[in-house]
Amino acid sequence: MAYVINDTCISCGSCEGECPVSAISAGDGKYVINADECISCGSCASVCPQEAISEE
């Protein structure tokens, strides 16, 4: 199951650099995760200071 980023994202970019498959990119006002590329490893969620990332 892919991870998603909710509206509490502050666009800090911590998650983007942590993703081993580069499934995260800057979106409109927050970062977004490409569900087709996400391998559900949870690395992004573990570094998010806002706890804005969770399983879909």
Return the CATH number at 25: 3.30.70.20
Q: Which of 47, 53, 55, 54 is closest to 30 using CA atoms?
A: 53
d(CA 40, CA 14): 17
pLDDT along the chain (56 residues), means of 10: 96 97 96 98 98 96
* Greatest extent of the chain over all pairs of C-alpha atoms, in Å: 24
Within 1-56, residue ranges assigned H as helices are 14-18, 43-47
Structural domain that includes position 9: 3-55
Contact 44, 33 (CB under 8 A): yes
Task: Give me the number of domains the chain comprises.
Answer: 1
In this predicted structure, what is the pLDDT of residue 36?
97
Report pLDDT for 37. 98
